[in-house]
Chain A
Amino acid sequence: MNPLIEAIDLSYTYRAGSGKEIKALNGINLQVKRGEMLAITGQNGSGKSTLARHFNGLLTPTGGKVLVNGLSVADKNNVSTIRKLVGMVFQNPDNQLISSIVEEDIAFGPENLGLPPALIRERVNQALDTLNLQDLRYESPNLLSEGQKQLVAIAGVLAMKPGCIVLDEPTAHLDPRGRREVLESILRLNRDEKITTILLTHYMNEAIHCDRMIVMDQGIIEMEGTPCEVFGRGDKIISLGLDYPVATQLAQGLRLRGINLPDNIIRSEEIINFLCQLK
């Protein structure tokens, strides 16, 4: 089966041709498989948001091409089809909710698609159910916690029944509890609803839950592989301005103290298992 999203030699330059050009992407080759959960990490300014905005045609390449389900995002005629297929959630929930009522906000996307009223209501109900938001249905987003607002934003995308959701640092504004709630929901959507998920994040502890991750720096992909592979490649991740997950850091510290631990530890459960065996 062909990949859902494919970037071929993609480059993007802000303010192209103005003399003050900023090259944000520089020859990206990437394939996103159907149903996978992909993390895109990298420090601020590494180009990950720019890359993500090509996936549903918010930006079009200045070089190379991006195909979504085989359709080029550069072709204006494809844009509406592509936006139906690839939904997007942004960092600040306050700046993406448009209505003063949760239910109405979730209906916004399906309404834009021109669906009949009964079907919109059904989709809204499903989205509310999937994310356990039924109780907040008639609330005003202004009264919700940041985490709940972000879940509403995800529900709004979900109601459009996309094949893929791109989340651009959805947890950056949230407190630890909100971050946990949102991450759990994202993982559940990927697992149960089989929605291809692309998660842009700074938090390595979120990236470890993904099937695959890429690390970007200065507009190119520096590392690619399963989280286990990426974090097992020595200190390169540190030189790219990122960090190890908590469990890996702990394992490294323990190894220095002479405790014999394997070097592919990235998740808390793994380190717990090994330490319990040592007893």
Chain B
Amino acid sequence: MELTRNITLGVYLPGETAIHRLDPRTKIIAATMLITLLLFIKSYEAYGFFLIFTAGIIVFAGIPLSYALCGLKPMLPVLLLMWIFQFFLYSTPDANILFSWWIFTATDAGLHMGNIITLRVLFLFTVTTILTLTTSIVNLTDGLESLLKPLRKIGLPSQELVMTMIIALRFVLILAEELDKIIKAQMARGVAFDRGSFIQKTRKLFPVFLPLFINAFKRAEELIVAMEARSYSGGKGRTKMKTLHMGRVDLGAGLIMLLFTILMIYIIISAAPQI
């Protein structure tokens, strides 16, 4: 499908490596830890270690490098724009001016900030991509459901939320197909979506989205009846066919994550506060 060709976020690459076999909960927790660490990293050395670690995971999980990088392509313009903004607009009082042009002044502090922020987003993207590339959607939702379960006590309807996610995932493709059908039907009746001014083009989309929404609501209603007919009455009293087990691999992965976290915290604390 046209829309999904370049998107690697949310795509699963089946495999048999230890990373694939990890309990989804281990992977979700590890990814959360890595993301939290990323928010505190402000030095290039720390990013160096982070790069080695993530590259290690990518190699170990057998993810083709081209695949991991290809997902970054659509992000590049955004990353570049972000870098430019930081470079020209961020400054500290004691920063050295590199050059100035018109109303913009570029400082070394801005350059550093631009680099750090861009790297942070890049790595955030890489960590989440690794998670989804090595974990099937069903495993992810199972893991999430299990991790969120304790929050039920404070009133969060975790199982219902996860059920909503599962259903949304199933219907994304169905609705995408339907959108395609409606567009083709409109084209067959003479609508030229690629012609006219921006406003004209936008107006042409109304007759596309209106039927899509109406159909989506109809589907939702039918789905509710079907779920009710299969005795669904919310998360209460429901059991799961699949039960999650943590094994030795998870213990090993946990230990590695712990060591890496300690190392990173040490680097973050010991690095002179540059900003």
Please report A residues at the B interface, Cβ cutoff 8 Å: 56, 58, 80, 83-84, 87-88, 90, 92, 94-101, 103-104, 107-117, 120-121, 124, 141-142, 156-157, 160
Contact = CB atoms under 8 A, between A and B. Distances in A.
Contact of A108 (B174, B232, B233, B237): B232
B223 A95 contact: yes
Interface residues of B, number: 28
A112 B223 CA distance: 15
A107 B239 CA distance: 10
Contact of A160 (B167, B231, B237): B231
Given A99-B166, A100-B169, A120 B239 contact: yes
15 contacts: A56-B229, A83-B231, A87-B229, A90-B225, A96-B223, A98-B163, A98-B167, A99-B166, A104-B242, A107-B240, A107-B241, A111-B241, A117-B239, A121-B241, A142-B173
Given A100-B137, A111-B241, A142-B174, 13 more contacts: A58-B228, A87-B229, A94-B174, A95-B226, A96-B222, A96-B223, A97-B170, A98-B226, A99-B170, A100-B170, A112-B237, A120-B240, A160-B230
Dominant secondary structure of chain A at its interface with chain B: helix
B242 to A, nearest CB: 7
Dominant secondary structure of chain B at its interface with chain A: helix
Nearest to A96: B226
B1 to A, nearest CB: 11
Interface in B132-190: 137-138, 163, 166-167, 169-170, 173-174
A113 B137 CA distance: 24
B89 to A, nearest CB: 44
B52 to A, nearest CB: 35
Nearest to A53: B225
A101 B169 CA distance: 11
A156 to B, nearest CB: 7
Contact of B241 (A83, A97, A117): A117
Contacts of B92: none
Contacts of B227: 98, 108
Nearest to A120: B241
Interface of B: 137-138, 163, 166-167, 169-170, 173-174, 219, 222-223, 225-233, 237-243
B231 A109 contact: yes
A117 B243 contact: yes
Contacts of B239: 111, 114-117, 120
Contacts of B237: 112, 114
A139 to B, nearest CB: 12
A241 B8 CA distance: 53
Given A101-B138, A121-B241, A109 B230 contact: yes
Given A58-B229, A98-B227, A117 B240 contact: yes
A113 B231 contact: yes
Nearest to B243: A117
Nearest to A92: B222
A161 to B, nearest CB: 12
Contacts of B163: 98
Contacts of B170: 97-100, 141-142
